Structure 1
Amino acid sequence: MAVYESNIDVSAISALDMHVHIELDEQGHKPMPEVFYEASAKYFKSEDRTPSIDKIADTYRELGMAAVVFTLDARTQFEGHLPNSIDDVVAGAARHNDVLLPFGSVDPRNGKAAIEEAQRQATELGVRGFKFHPSVQGFDPSDRQYYPLWEALQEIGLPMLSHTGQNGMGAGLPGGAGLKLRYSNPLLLDDVAADFPNLPIIMAHPSVPWQDEANSIATHKSNIYIDLSGWSPKYFPESLVRQSNNVLKHKVLFGTDFPLIPPTKWLAAFDDLPIKDEVRPLILKDNAVKLLGLGQGGDAA
């Protein structure tokens, strides 16, 4: 069993992508039913929807960047369709620990088993955070029944990354394939941030149509961050761009949603945004390095 230890040389990378999906494990298994891949590939116009973790590592190594990688456990919502092996994700990240950091994932609807699995992933595998998607996993993060899990994550001391806003998953399908957008309202995470102030929470994506709410939450609570994945920067809400330049300059994190959006394409559009020169390195690398506790030599400072 592989145990992850980071060997990322922070001084040698130009950026750290906080949001990269591993959609295919070493057994050829995907964490969601095929219909979701077909719909999201059409929505994002992505060419290669399921690259291997080795190909992802090569992509970021060639670009002189690092990336947080993860899969998603939504077995309850998908009626027993099992997730990718978290152990495989960690093993792949361990093979490429100069450029990849693994996040774990558990199904919150699994109750006590989810807590035990989160503890295992942290202590035995060495994951560096946890990924959630309330709409895909079918849960309201502010519901008190999930508070024991958030308390456990706070005790573990690793950040959680949670989808917010519009969903590419299920987009264009009848009923959105049953996925409910309201679970991705960032105000639901505001409850969690208030009640678990020592739990770092990354709100994934510009939170359209709730961007003003997301800006307010990130400004109000020191344990809330925003990653910029899932949207080309040319489509970012103006309020997000404006506040990223000032009150949120230490709270905003570079992210692509690769393989849905290639990093080169995202960065080319980011170059055209009116972001201050002194803020760009904060967004692209420095904020993430601090949040993840990465030292100049590689592992936790």
Structure 2
Amino acid sequence: MHCHVAGIGAGGSGAFISEQLRHSWKYRIYLKSFGISEDELRQHGDGLVIRRLSEQLAESQLVGAAVVLALDGVVDEQGNLDRARTESYVPNDFVARETAKYANLYFGASVNPYRPDALERLEQARADGAVLIKWLPAIQQIDPADERLIPFYEKLVELDLPLLTHAGDEHSFTRADNSLGDPLKLRLPLDLGVTVIAAHVATSGQQDGQDNMARLLPLFEEYPNLYADISSLTQLNKVRFMRRLQDSGVAAERLLYGTDFPLIRTGLTSPLFSLPQLGWQRTLPLLKVRSAWDQDVRLKLAYGLPAEVFSNAAALLLK
């Protein structure tokens, strides 16, 4: 329930990537992990990214479907899209249109709440089949604790749309305001009854001398409407957090399976990075798994996560 796509505007998608990001070393890695080239995008359009995602997913024996995420941009003081401060923009209508072509893909919308028509955009997203709303606060310049967002949160509750929001620091782009990833900023939407999914269980960075995961974990006892996804927890820089999550006492029904695709195809989640935790006997068979999706599931199962974690997202999002 956590898969990213991107585009360069080919085929009239409306998507774009900033020049700064396109000239970053990360750009070619992302293209390779999507299984495409820039020439192919120009020839076939940005929809090819979503088609390749669906094809790769279809080869999986363990994962039946995925939520594909749009990504709204930064907005200026007038509420208009600020292209100069937006690193990646993936429009809702593009993702809704393309995912509708494939039975194994679902639409995850993104709406910057500072847009003047944000509530109307939420209603349109729901009408187009969105199963959640995605935020990257550090990139989109969204403060989840801003009380001006109360009407937005109330609309999410009315529409029964969960909010999947990045918690913790963000390092996939060239710049970020990581103070906006503070998990304690999620108290406002939680207090208002929003179903909040904290991406990555806040496994990066710190605020006020306390690491973000430590700030998030106590909130699970306080808010029954708080969930977290386990995407990226087997990355090289995060494997230490998997055991910590398991030892935290967070109930399995509050954890949702996610991949943070395309990162599972970059090599960052190689089972070799989990060798110290799993040992050779459990690690070696994982290296032979061809599908990146299946390898990701089997790797997380090898840590001892309950099987229900891998079906919780469907139960929550496809009601």
Regarding TM over 0.5, the answer is yes
| CA distance 1:249–1:68, shift in 2 (3 Å) | same
How far 1:70 moved relative to its partner?
1.0
Q: Is the 8 A contact 2:74 2:139 kept in 1?
A: no
Q: Is the 8 A contact 2:21 2:27 kept in 1?
A: no
Where does residue 259 of structure 1 map in the other structure? 262
Three-state SS of the structure 2 residue aligned to 1:54 is: helix
Where does residue 98 of structure 2 map in the other structure? 92
Where does residue 313 of structure 2 map in the other structure? 288
How far 1:236 moved relative to its partner?
4.2
Where does residue 27 of structure 1 map in the other structure? 12
Where does residue 15 of structure 1 map in the other structure? none
CA distance in 2, matches of 1:40, 1:72: 21
The number of equivalent residue pairs is 259
What does 1:194-205 align with in structure 2 at a 5 Å threshold? 194=191, 196-197=192-193, 199-205=194-200
How far 1:47 moved relative to its partner?
3.1
Three-state SS of the structure 1 residue aligned to 2:3 is: strand
Output the amino acid matched with 1:88: F
Output the amino acid matched with 1:267: V
Q: Does 1:48 align with 2:43?
A: no
Q: Is the 8 A contact 2:145 2:185 kept in 1?
A: yes
How far 1:154 moved relative to its partner?
1.0
Where does residue 69 of structure 2 map in the other structure? 70
Which structure has more RCO (C-alpha within 8 Å, separation ≥ 6)?
1
CA distance in 2, matches of 1:254, 1:166: 20
Aligned-residue Cα RMSD (Å) equals 2.6
More helix by share: 2
Output the amino acid matched with 1:188: K
Where does residue 211 of structure 1 map in the other structure? 213
Q: Does 1:108 align with 2:113?
A: yes
Largest Rg, 1 or 2: 2
Where does residue 125 of structure 2 map in the other structure? 121
Q: Is the 8 A contact 1:31 1:71 kept in 2?
A: no
Structure 1: runs of 5 or more not aligned: 1-17, 295-299
How far 1:36 moved relative to its partner?
3.2
Q: Does 1:239 align with 2:264?
A: no
Three-state SS of the structure 2 residue aligned to 1:108 is: coil
Q: Is the 8 A contact 2:66 2:104 kept in 1?
A: yes
CA distance in 1, matches of 2:25, 2:104: 26
Q: Is the 8 A contact 1:226 1:251 kept in 2?
A: yes
CA distance in 2, matches of 1:40, 1:235: 24
Three-state SS of the structure 1 residue aligned to 2:186 is: helix
CA distance in 2, matches of 1:95, 1:267: 25
The C-alpha deviation readout for 1:177-218, integer Å capped at 9, x for no partner, is 3x2101011110122201x12x21111113123112222112
Structure 2: runs of 5 or more not aligned: 37-48, 206-211, 266-292
CA distance in 2, matches of 1:223, 1:31: 34
The C-alpha deviation readout for 1:64-120, integer Å capped at 9, x for no partner, is 421111121014277235833312211221111x21111111112213x11111111
